[in-house]
Structure 1
Amino acid sequence: MKTTKKIELPILKDIVVPGKDMPEVDELPSVLSDIQIRALEQQIERIVQFKLEAVLKHATKEAVKEINAHLDQVLPKLIQAANKRQHRKR
């Protein structure tokens, strides 16, 4: 039978306050098996991917709004300038 590789998970006592930021009783064991580590990595990857997609979607919407607002201001002036040039050439 294959032995699994165990990884110790450090507890960030200087950052996380047990009982306040996390339950005092650890929900995860301090040692995880390979399968548990892969599952955790996949969950983290999905969360990060979802957050990234949400941020990019929001940023794209904001950029499109700003571009449209800028074009709403600039295009009428450009059209007027182009019309004046056409009238001068005649």
Structure 2
Amino acid sequence: MEKKKATNKGGQSHRQNHSITDQLINTNATTQKLFVLACLRERPHSSNELHMRGIYDPRARIFSLRQEGYDISTTWRYEIDVAGIERKIGVYSLLSEVK
């Protein structure tokens, strides 16, 4: 089954009614950092959520963003992972942008 596509004014094709953070399209570190940043701008995300969206090691991307000056906090909660095991998971929140 083929997905319906829409064309925006710039002529670029995109999926209808979806956010920029729905799908990671590239696995290089820079793209992943930008993707994580976009996710955190929308709302806090757990490492589990980021992993399920295609970020293999969210901790590395969060570390890099912090090194660049983004203020990102980590809190903890328990979540069920893909194997059905309850684990203590980091939840990342963007507190402020780079000044």
TM-score where L is the length of structure 1: 0.23
TM-score where L is the length of structure 2: 0.22
Q: Greater Rg, structure 1 or structure 2?
A: 1
Query: Between Structure 1 and Structure 2, which shows a larger proportion of strand residues?
Result: 2
Higher relative contact order (CA 8 A, sep 6+): 1
